[in-house]
Structure 1
Amino acid sequence: MFVRRIAVVGTGYVGLTTGACLASLGHRVVCADVDALKVARLEAGQVDILEPGLAGLVREGATAGRLSFTVGARDAVRDAEVVFLCLPTPMGAGGAADLSAVEDVAAVIRDVLPYGCVVVCKSTVPVGTSTRVAALLDREDVAVVSNPEFLREGSAVRDFLHPDRIVVGSDSPQAAERVAALFAKLGAPTVLMDAASAEMVKYAANCFLAMKLSYVNAVAELCELVGADVTAVTDGMGYDKRIGGSFLKPGPGWGGSCLPKDTHAMVRIAEGVGVDFTLVQATIDTNVRQRQRVVDKLRAAVGPLAGTRIGVLGLAFKAGTNDLRDSPALAVAELLAFEGAELVAYDPEIDRPLVGMTVVDDPYVAVSGAAAVVLLTEWPQFRTLDWTRVASVMSGTTVLDTRNHLDPDALRRAGLTLRGVGRPVEVPFS
């Protein structure tokens, strides 16, 4: 395998994981960020992102001299053979992706890129962005390649080093093969295509996953009304190889840094070419309704929410991360606060103040005096709480488990009434 000199611009979840993992494959990597304090912390081996294995890879790469950090993109790219753009593309006006960070960096680096280097768009970007970046660079000697990431927060390092596939798209076959060669050591299936198709792959994949989640939440609602158990239903579905068992767990709605912005962007992309993509819009609408359903369930269990104390377990958008971006837990909490509920919340990885609630550092403090407890993030440690102790400090008996995560028998023995999603109400033993 040839060792390449690589620059990674942006040190968020995608950028830092990309840089550290490429360094672990033997490449020489410089990661750049505009945040000088963040760069200083990374140089000291301090990784603020909660991602299993990432901090170790960063320290390992730095110790081996294969991974370094710098402030600003210009210095990082001066000696690079390949430049990865791992920049935020948040939801902008009307739901379209905001490409200002990508465009700004392209303008900054265009005159310092080495002759013949390759610029890789790793960020999730609309179809046509590679062409747009090429035009901004205005360098005939520099090829632009799309290499979408498929990293899940909480397992990003594993996903990078053991990928299902590697997608590389460019209108220059030579440039695409050059980028694909960076990952040869992984031995993963590599799919080469044109840039537009590669850009569409990420949106198509994420929208499909979002549709699957919204579908199972809608099925869960139906199960509640007809007396079926969604856990049994999805178990029966998952054995069908055409469907599979992943993304078939109901919850309080989906969120995170990718699915919300990517579904909205797909709708905008479709509208831009005159396609009415109602399936994706319905996916978004179902997700919004799912959050309201959680609030409705609590209201049905305890009565009016104004002035009612609710204990909240979990704030991160999913277990294994400290990311709050588009967290369904926060969306539900906001709806509860709007109705006047008094919220006391606990999350094992969130300790900063949040609007509309009191955040505490002990789950038993969070549930103390609560008329009801709502579990919104599936942290493993919530399953092993002392539920008899929880029952003794609550003022009520309702536990709403929006992830179907808890052991029904443990809660029944504690004298608590467990309400799940798409499942019958579990009442205490008489």
Structure 2
Amino acid sequence: MNIAIVGTGYVGLVSGTCFAEMGINVTCVDVNEEKIDSLLKGQIPIYEPGLEEMVLRNSREGRLKFTINLRACLDDVDIVFSAVGTPPDEDGSADLQYVLAVAREFGQNINKYTILVTKSTVPVGTAKKVKATIQEELCKRGMNIPFDVASNPEFLKEGAAIKDFMSPDRVVVGVESEKAKELMTKLYRPFLLNNFRVIFTDIPSAEMIKYAANSMLATRISFMNDIANLCELVGADVNMVRKGIGADSRIGSKFLYPGCGYGGSCFPKDVKALIKTAEKEGYNMRVLKAVEEVNEYQKSILFEKLERYYNDDLRGKTVALWGLAFKPETDDMREATALIMIDLLSKAGCKVKVFDPVAMEECRRRVGNLVDYANDMYDAVLNADALVLLTEWKQFRLPSWGVIKKSMNEPVVFDGRNIYDASEITELGFKYFAVGR
């Protein structure tokens, strides 16, 4: 089976590589010539565990190809995936210019029945616009070539994307015809031989499922952050509260971990986009607006704790930040709490030293020389007045506290992810502050 994937960003590259791993012939297309040249040389533009090895292997074995020319491969493929970016506009709504550009090129160049599948996260109703755009281009050509559009939202977690794709808990596919359903079934069957977990829906429902899923997860996070903040005020321990409510089978334990706010490429963007979709329909998403408000506040909560500890005078203090990416196992800093912290600390007159296992170059790209870049986690705390943990990388979980205590000007830790044992760390002579405890 032959397919093409337009867009070699996170979703497109991971999806294309995983399809190739299952024996499908994949052509990845991107208008960015520099990116395609790098991929042809075996240089991977993103960090994802296991991805580089898989890209190189499938490229070497001829199942994974890269090009800037969609037109050249259209006659040879049955399905084209659109995995281009949908960045938020200034008002928070999704920008569909790249999605519609793919639809135009598709309509201008197909010569046989082909499916255009939207993989990007797009608002409900986008498929209608895509279909109309394709039809418009076919009319300009005076052609009556059959085609289908479909929606196949991705549910990839950065840091575990390959596992998520290769062993999905479900695959959602929105289709309009039996022919499209049959072809998409054939495509996904190798991934789901033992348990065919493809959920076929109409296209608007498929488009909504992705937004609803991410918004629900974001809601759980913001809810627990709100509870955590109240726990501090009333003397409760949010970890005990989390365990207590998570034991309820109706609630479950996932995404009930409080912290210093969520970030990344999905949750913030998708919550905003769903709010804007509702506004266009004259509906007010009250819960999601509160979710967004809580999250924005939560990103500054550790800074407020630092201010209180130093009596609102942080000027001249050296603060070490452990973790820059929005979550472990990625170098993605989009909407990361670290960016808010760096900005607030710098404006307060602090010297900021940072370390992250993989996101240092991304931080340099974003903030330049605004911070000092440490060689490792222990170099970051050298002569620091406070240590702030922002991202719960595994290597931060069991540090040598004796070395850290000797290295710091003052042994004080602000744990933004609640990964340390409060009694253990205070017994070692540290002052310890967490979230909701």
User: What TM bracket, shorter-length normalisation?
Assistant: over 0.9
Determine helix, strand or coil for the equivalent of 2:384: coil
Matching residue of 1:132: 129
Partners of 2:425 and 2:43 in 1: CA distance: 40
Q: Is 1:143 matched with 2:174?
A: no
Deviation, structure 1 residue 409: 5.1
Partners of 1:153 and 1:253 in 2: CA distance: 16
Partners of 2:317 and 2:292 in 1: CA distance: 30
Alignment of 1:128-277 (within 5 A): 128-138=125-135, 139=138, 141-187=146-192, 188-277=196-285
Determine helix, strand or coil for the equivalent of 2:117: strand
Matching residue of 1:324: 333
Q: Could you tell me which of 32, 36, 40 is aligned with 1:39?
A: 36
Determine helix, strand or coil for the equivalent of 2:16: helix
Deviation, structure 1 residue 154: 0.3
Alignment of 1:43-54 (within 5 A): 43-54=40-51
Q: Which amino acid aligns with 2:328?
A: A
Partners of 1:379 and 1:409 in 2: CA distance: 21
Partners of 2:186 and 2:249 in 1: CA distance: 32
Distance 1:176 1:337, change over 3 A: farther
Partners of 1:73 and 1:409 in 2: CA distance: 59
Matching residue of 1:297: 305
Unpaired segments of 5 or more residues in structure 2?
A: 139-144
Stretches of 4+ aligned residues off by more than 4 angstroms: none
Deviation, structure 1 residue 64: 2.3
Q: Could you tell me which of 47, 64, 89 is aligned with 2:61?
A: 64
Determine helix, strand or coil for the equivalent of 1:83: strand
Partners of 1:213 and 1:105 in 2: CA distance: 35
Of 384-393 and 251-260, more deviation after overlay is shown by 384-393
Partners of 2:335 and 2:182 in 1: CA distance: 36
Partners of 2:50 and 2:10 in 1: CA distance: 13
Q: Is 1:107 matched with 2:115?
A: no
**CA displacement, residues 8-37 of structure 1 (integer Å, 9 cap, x when unaligned):** 111111001110111112111001112223
**CA displacement, residues 303-353 of structure 1 (integer Å, 9 cap, x when unaligned):** 312332111111000011011111122222222223232211111112332
**CA displacement, residues 336-385 of structure 1 (integer Å, 9 cap, x when unaligned):** 22323221111111233224322222222221222111000001111232
**CA displacement, residues 251-272 of structure 1 (integer Å, 9 cap, x when unaligned):** 1100100001100001000001
Q: Could you tell me which of 309, 312, 319 is aligned with 2:318?
A: 309
**8 A contact 1:145–1:176 mirrored in 2:** no
Partners of 1:338 and 1:72 in 2: CA distance: 47
Q: Could you tell me which of 339, 353, 357 is aligned with 2:371?
A: 357
**8 A contact 1:314–1:347 mirrored in 2:** yes
May I ask how many residue pairs the two structures share in their alignment? 420
Matching residue of 2:93: 96
**8 A contact 1:383–1:407 mirrored in 2:** no
Partners of 1:74 and 1:297 in 2: CA distance: 56
**8 A contact 1:382–1:406 mirrored in 2:** no
**CA displacement, residues 260-295 of structure 1 (integer Å, 9 cap, x when unaligned):** 110000100000111111100000000011112221
Q: Is 1:395 matched with 2:409?
A: yes
**8 A contact 2:49–2:159 mirrored in 1:** yes
Partners of 2:289 and 2:181 in 1: CA distance: 33
Q: Could you tell me which of 399, 412, 416 is aligned with 2:426?
A: 412
Q: Is 1:77 matched with 2:74?
A: yes
**8 A contact 1:70–1:76 mirrored in 2:** no
Of 168-177 and 367-376, more deviation after overlay is shown by 168-177
**8 A contact 1:89–1:98 mirrored in 2:** yes
**What is the TM-score of this pair, normalised by structure 2?**
0.92
Matching residue of 1:427: none
Determine helix, strand or coil for the equivalent of 1:260: helix
Partners of 1:280 and 1:65 in 2: CA distance: 45
